[in-house]
């Protein structure tokens, strides 16, 4: 028995010294626990519905950040990955009767292939030209969908997909757990050595090449990874809505994801996630003021961007935490000395 207690005590000490010392980590913990406990307190279908969509869009926004924030390949047509995946899972579920636990992974694979197809012609482009080219892809695909109404359903889209699971609460848990796992995976990717390379490609591609790195490979990798995660989001969305229409490819959705990410703070996977979790429910609950809805939304986003150009979450994080000038470890802002090396924080 002794060693079990030893490990429990060790875990507790780790928890106390690594999680409880930083307000941002505590906030993350509270957020995760609160998300997992929502159905215990309320099973209001509308609230769960909003939270399910929020979770799906936060995977989507984080995948945009992986491609455009980290790698600097600014993508104005990110809805392409979402729409292709949604249509893939819709088509194979309705026509080939593929069950949903297979159609969502297949949708993710379709996202990867789309990433390759978009990535290869976009390799030579950067900046504004890349953004405009990527903007064109979803518009082309929308045209194709309208041109083939007998397969794609045209403007009405495909309906009658399988439900994701038998009840709303299960739907909720599946999407929330997937969201937590996938965003953690994305955060780990950006935190690894590959993440450093992606960062460096955004800063100066020629210098990375002169360091002996095959930048083409890494840019394609970023496109494929982003397509994979956006594809999972698209597949989930198709099965939650049970209908897939051209709205999944809309330019508005591409720009919505950019607004969410920039609001939350790009180049940090948690920023876009937080951005979606603030803005999407806000836009949804503002439906009680139908006339002022978009106005309130726009004013809020504008004010945030004027006063917090880095985005909301990095701004808050810099207010409640300070970085040690010597060892670069973060400590809570109320401390006078660094919690690791005791250097003065002022």
Which residues lie near another protein (CB under 8 A)? 193, 196-197, 199-200, 203-204, 206-215, 327-328
CB of 19 to another protein, least distance (A): 23
- CA–CA gap between residue 18 and residue 265 (Å, rounded): 24
The smaller minimum CB distance to another protein, of residues 13 and 192, is found at 192
CB of 214 to another protein, least distance (A): 5
The smaller minimum CB distance to another protein, of residues 55 and 208, is found at 208
CB of 345 to another protein, least distance (A): 16
**Residue reference for tokens 């726009």:** 298
Helix (H) or strand (E) holding 241: helix 215-241
The smaller minimum CB distance to another protein, of residues 205 and 284, is found at 205
Q: Packing angle between helix 168-191 and helix 193-203, nearest 10 degrees?
A: 70
Distance of CA 211 to the CA centre of its chain: 30
The smaller minimum CB distance to another protein, of residues 207 and 289, is found at 207
CB of 315 to another protein, least distance (A): 17
- CA–CA gap between residue 227 and residue 41 (Å, rounded): 35
CB of 215 to another protein, least distance (A): 7
The smaller minimum CB distance to another protein, of residues 177 and 196, is found at 196
CB of 213 to another protein, least distance (A): 5
CB of 308 to another protein, least distance (A): 18
Collapsing DSSP states into helix, strand and coil, what is residue 330?
Answer: strand
The smaller minimum CB distance to another protein, of residues 162 and 205, is found at 205
Phi, psi of 239 (to 5 degrees): -80, -25
| CA distance readout (Å), 170 to 22, 60, 150, 225, 232 | 33, 21, 34, 27, 17
How many of the other CB atoms lie within 10 Å of CB of 287?
8
DSSP string, 58-98: HHHHHHHIIIIIIS----S-THHHHHHHHHHHHHHHHTS--
**Is 331 within 8 Å of 324 (Cβ atoms)?**
yes
The smaller minimum CB distance to another protein, of residues 213 and 316, is found at 213
């Amino acid at each position: 028995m002794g060693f079990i207690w030893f490990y429990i005590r060790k875990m507790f000490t780790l928890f106390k010294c690594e999680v409880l010392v930083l307000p941002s980590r505590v906030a993350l913990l509270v957020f995760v626990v609160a998300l997992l406990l929502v159905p215990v307190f309320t099973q209001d279908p509308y609230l769960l519905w909003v939270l399910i969509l929020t979770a799906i869009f936060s995977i989507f926004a984080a995948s945009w950040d992986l491609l455009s924030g980290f790698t600097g390949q600014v993508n104005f047509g990110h809805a392409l990955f979402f729409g292709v995946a949604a249509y893939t899972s819709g088509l194979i579920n309705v026509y080939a009767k593929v069950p949903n636990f297979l159609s969502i992974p297949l949708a993710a694979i379709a996202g990867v292939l789309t990433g390759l197809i978009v990535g290869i012609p976009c390799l030579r482009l950067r900046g504004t030209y890349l953004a405009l080219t990527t903007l064109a892809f979803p518009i082309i695909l929308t045209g194709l969908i309208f041109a083939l109404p007998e397969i794609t359903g045209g403007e009405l889209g495909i309906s009658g997909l399988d439900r994701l699971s038998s009840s709303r609460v299960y739907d909720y848990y599946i999407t929330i757990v997937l969201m937590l796992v996938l965003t953690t995976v994305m955060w780990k990717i950006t935190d690894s050595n590959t993440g450093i390379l992606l960062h460096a490609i955004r800063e100066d591609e020629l210098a990375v090449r002169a360091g002996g790195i095959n930048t083409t490979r890494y840019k394609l990798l970023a496109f494929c990874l982003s397509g994979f995660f956006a594809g999972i989001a698209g597949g989930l969305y198709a099965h939650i809505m049970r209908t897939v229409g051209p709205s999944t490819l809309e330019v508005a959705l591409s720009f919505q994801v950019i607004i969410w990410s920039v609001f939350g703070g790009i180049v940090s996977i948690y920023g876009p996630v937080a951005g979606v979790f603030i803005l999407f429910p806000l836009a949804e609950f503002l439906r009680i003021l139908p006339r002022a809805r978009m106005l309130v939304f726009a004013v809020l986003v504008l004010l945030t961007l004027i006063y917090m150009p880095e985005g909301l979450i990095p701004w808050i994080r810099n207010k409640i935490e300070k970085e040690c000038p010597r060892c670069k470890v973060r400590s809570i802002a109320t401390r006078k000395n660094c919690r690791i090396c005791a250097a003065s924080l002022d």
